[in-house]
């Protein structure tokens, strides 16, 4: 017996539809799970290869877990509200699944779009290094 409310799949699970690279995938997740957890568990990482290892672990700080939420709950977390307000991808770690959602995982480069790791990465706008003291 399932829930008859709109936006909820059978057996009190939520349906997650993922659009990525021209493909469409659907899976179910437990209500209350964050979208980030559900995506990772289903093999649809919102991260790049680098940010998959270097992220804030779902604390809403690093902004590397962004997805385009085409159907889903309104933002609650301050960072996610700003992302939504200014048209940036929503933070999947701050979206708690309560009803069915549809997300698009955007094409991503390395976080910040900077792949080179030379000394220039540590210079500020004045051209002076910004290494921490010590
Ligand atoms: S994992 Fe860092 S903001 Fe979502």
Q: What's the burial of 10, exposed, middle or buried (CB within 10 Å: 0-12/13-18/19+)?
A: exposed
| Architecture in CATH of 13-106 | Roll (3.10)
Closest among 106, 103, 99, 104 to 29, alpha carbons compared: 99
Number of the ligand 1 atom closest to the C-alpha atom of 60: 3
**How is residue 62 written in tokens?**
């690093």
Question: Where residue 16 falls among pLDDT bands split at 50, 70, 90?
Answer: very high
The model carries a pTM of 0.73
**How is residue 92 written in tokens?**
């999947």
Angle at 122 between CA 119 and CA 125, to 5 degrees: 115
4 CA distance to ligand 1 centroid (A)?
33
Which residue puts its alpha carbon closest to atom 1 of ligand 1? 58
pLDDT digits (tens, 9 = 90+) for 71-128: 988 888 888 888 888 988 999 999 999 999 999 998 876 554 433 333 333 333 333 3
5 CA distance to ligand 1 centroid (A)?
30
Top mean-pLDDT range of 6-10, 38-42, 77-81, 117-121 = 38-42
Q: Is the CB of 67 under 6 A from ligand 1?
A: no
- Determine what percent of the chain is predicted with pLDDT higher than 90: 45
Contact (CB, 8 A) for 83 and 90: yes
Q: What's the burial of 39, exposed, middle or buried (CB within 10 Å: 0-12/13-18/19+)?
A: buried
User: Domain limits of the chain?
Assistant: 13-106
């Amino acid at each position: 017996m399932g829930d008859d409310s709109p936006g909820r799949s059978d057996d009190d699970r939520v349906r997650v539809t993922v659009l990525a690279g021209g493909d469409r995938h659907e899976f179910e997740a437990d209500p209350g799970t964050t979208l980030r957890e559900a995506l990772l568990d289903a093999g649809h990482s919102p991260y790049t290869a680098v940010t998959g290892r270097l992220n804030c672990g779902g604390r809403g700080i690093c902004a590397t877990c962004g997805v385009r939420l085409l159907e889903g709950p309104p933002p609650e977390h301050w960072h996610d509200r700003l992302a939504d307000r200014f048209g940036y991808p929503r933070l999947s770690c701050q979206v708690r699944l309560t009803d069915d959602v549809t997300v698009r995982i955007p094409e991503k480069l390395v976080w910040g779009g900077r792949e080179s790791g030379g000394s220039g990465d540590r210079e500020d706008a004045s051209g002076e290094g910004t290494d921490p003291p010590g």
